[in-house]
Structure 1
Amino acid sequence: MSQTFKNKETTNWALFDKKNKAHMNILSLLRQLEWTKPHDRYGEVADLKRLSNWLKSEKSPVNKPLMDLEKHEVSKIICALEAMTEKKHS
């Protein structure tokens, strides 16, 4: 069992790889959903704590840390976030 599953409540499941295009797509979707927070240097950034909590929740199609997801599982996360974005902007 990975270390991230041992401390589910306190571990950040939203750690991402900035070289991974799918992870960057997720960050873009977070901004579109307005899941953001103020940042002194960058103005506004994606709220990774909110993403982490969502990944841990029953609302997420896959309950695993972002860095532990297989390619097809990342696709499920992206599809869910895209559906949420469409609903928000309709």
Structure 2
Amino acid sequence: MVDHEEVRHVASLARVALDDDEVERFAAQFDDILAYFDTLDEVPEVEREEDLANVMRPDEVREGLSQEEALANAPESEAGFFKGPKVS
């Protein structure tokens, strides 16, 4: 079973505040998720050579947008750059 302290630790890393009921619920959900991974361990491995094919196309240099065209639909711009909200 996933420990409540582990749930609180993961929540703090994600900067999410959880009350005791949420910690209990998430611990149960984490247990369910980990049980699915245990089920995958039971799937037998298959010895088989795959025919690999390169599905990537070569890069092509093409004309891009001008700075004015790129900023035309931006809600805000400043000094030729996109301007977004401050992140704290």
- TM-score, normalised via structure 1 length: 0.24
Q: Which has the higher helix share?
A: 1
Q: Which has the higher strand share?
A: 1
Please say which structure displays the higher CA radius of gyration. Answer: 2
Which structure ranks higher in relative contact order (CA pairs < 8 Å, sequence separation ≥ 6)? Answer: 1
- TM-score, normalised via structure 2 length: 0.24
